[in-house]
Amino acid sequence: MPRTALLAPVLAFGLAFGLASLASAEVVHFKTALTPAQEVPATDTHGSGAADAKLDTATKTLTYKVTFKGLTGPATMAHFHGPAAPGANAPVLVSLGNNPKSPITGKAQLTDDQVKAFMDGQVYVNVHTAANPGGEIRGQMTRAK
């Protein structure tokens, strides 16, 4: 049998596998509103904010923008936390920095477990202040429609 006859099925399989991998990769959009009522326990402030993120599932790259205003004082920290359902607390997944200014923008390379937490709706964002060191405003990340 000629070598090209043997090569054709191998190439066809490789092409099909490559296309299937591309088809399963996607960019998933997430968003949330950050409010004092979502903190655990809830805080009594007038702060508010929003978070938007895009997760490229092929590269596991998260691109994010977090905005906030009306806090009791300057933000001291901000983070993505998880895995956690709404109303539960969890450890930091991705730090958004110390003493951040609004808007916070950036990218993070995620692990497989972190990607899973985002895809399962088990990630929240919170912004901390000196008056509320556990977090002043918070929001659970959900898939944007």
Question: What is the DSSP track for 47-113?
Answer: -EEEEEEEEETTTTEEEEEEEEE--SS-EEEEEEE-S--TT----EEEEEEES--SSEEEEEEPPHH
Q: Where are the domains of the chain?
A: 25-143
Nearest to 70 by CA among 142, 132, 140: 132
Look at 65 and 20; give whichever has higher pLDDT. Answer: 65
pLDDT at 79: 98
* DSSP designation for 118: H
Separation of CA 114 from chain center: 8
pLDDT of 11 above 50? no
Read off the pLDDT of each residue in 32-40 and give the average, rounded to a whole number: 97
User: Per the CATH hierarchy, to which homologous superfamily does domain 25-143 belong?
Assistant: Superoxide dismutase, copper/zinc binding domain (2.60.40.200)
- Main-chain phi, psi angles of 67, to 5 degrees: -120, 150
pTM, to two decimals:
0.82
For 76-96, the pLDDT digits (tens) are 999 999 999 999 999 999 999
Question: In the prediction, which pLDDT does 2 show?
Answer: 58
pLDDT tens per residue across span 107-135: 999 999 999 999 999 999 999 999 999 99
Region of poorest pLDDT, from 9-13, 68-72, 75-79, 104-108: 9-13
Percent of the chain whose predicted confidence (pLDDT) is above 70? 83
